[in-house]
């Protein structure tokens, strides 16, 4: 996307955001929802979308940016086609998350916060995913994978072209 061109909100996204707004007494409450809607289209939230969302909700671009940068699942930089989120909290730490992390890093040749050169995967750490009895756990996009072992990693990643 060219930074010079004004961002045009897709007509479907505008409708979705307006639908979200109706759930609340104050349109601001739809800010996280709006960011998620835009992100669903592009994989991340482009700079130009920030003031457009602000305008739609009647709040400043700075407020929208403040929200966008606070929450870990809103991306303000381009990410890979698939985002891998590896749980690094204590239960998965005890059941071997570090080996999972190392295996992913080795297979993809990236570290946390990085994207593969082919733009396929971005790797991130994430808080406890609430499946500690089936750890180590990781998410790829919206899918949660349980009882992951380092040997499974390569085959698991193949399912996300």
Partner 1 sequence: MTADTKPLTYRVDLGAPLDLRGYESREGYAAVRKALREMQPSDVTHLVKEANLRGRGGAGFPTGVKWGLVPMGETAPRHKYLLCNADEMEPGTFKDRLLLEGAPHQLVEAMIVSAYAIQASHGYIFVRGEYVLAAERLERAIAEARIAGYLGANVLGSPWSFELFVHTGAGRYIPGEETALINSLEGRRANPRAKPPFPQIAGLWGKPTVVNNVETLCNVPHIVMRGAEWFHGLSQGKTKDSGTKLYGVSGRVKRPGLWELPFGVSAREILEEHAGGMKDRLKLKCWLPGGASTDFLMPEHLDLAMDFDTIANAGSRMGTGLLTVVDESRSIVSVMRNLEEFFARESCGWCTPCRDGLPWSVRILAALERGQGRSGDIETLEQLCRFLGPGKTFCAHAPGAVEPLQSAIKYFRHEFEAGITKPAARAAAQSAPQAIAAAQATA
Rounded Cα distance between 4 and 136, Å, is 44
Instruction: Give SS3 for 127.
Output: coil
Q: Let me know how many helices (H) and strands (E) the chain has, helices first.
A: 7, 4
- Residues 25 to 64: which contact partner 1 by CB under 8 A? 25-26, 28-33, 35-36, 57, 59, 63
Which of 94, 111, 113, 151 is in the footprint of partner 1 by CB under 8 A? 94
Stretch that binds partner 1, among 11-19, 76-84, 132-140, 151-159 (CB under 8 A): 132-140
Which residue in 83, 86, 107 sits closest to 160, CA to CA? 83
Instruction: Give SS3 for 82.
Output: strand
Stretch that binds partner 1, among 10-18, 109-117, 130-138, 150-158 (CB under 8 A): 130-138
Question: Residue 111, interface with partner 1 (CB under 8 A)?
Answer: no
β-pairing, 82-87 vs 121-126, is: parallel
Question: Residue 88, interface with partner 1 (CB under 8 A)?
Answer: yes
The binding site for partner 1 (CB under 8 A) comprises 23-26, 28-33, 35-36, 57, 59, 63, 66-67, 70-74, 85, 88-91, 93-95, 125-135, 139, 142, 144
């Amino acid at each position: 996307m060219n930074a010079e061109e004004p961002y045009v909100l897709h007509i479907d996204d505008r409708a979705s955001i307006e639908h979200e707004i109706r759930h609340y007494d104050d349109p601001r409450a739809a800010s996280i929802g709006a960011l998620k809607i835009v992100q669903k289209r592009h994989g991340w939230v482009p700079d130009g979308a920030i003031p457009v969302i602000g305008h739609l909700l009647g709040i400043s671009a700075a407020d929208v940016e403040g929200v966008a940068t606070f929450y870990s699942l809103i991306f303000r930089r381009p990410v890979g086609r698939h985002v891998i989120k590896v749980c690094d909290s204590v239960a998965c730490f005890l059941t071997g998350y570090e080996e999972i992390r190392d295996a992913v890093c080795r297979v993809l040749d990236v570290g946390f916060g990085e994207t593969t050169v082919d733009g396929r995967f971005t790797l991130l750490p994430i808080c406890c995913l609430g499946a500690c009895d089936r750890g180590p756990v990781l998410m790829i996009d919206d899918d949660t994978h349980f009882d992951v072992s380092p040997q499974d990693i390569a085959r698991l990643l193949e399912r996300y072209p």
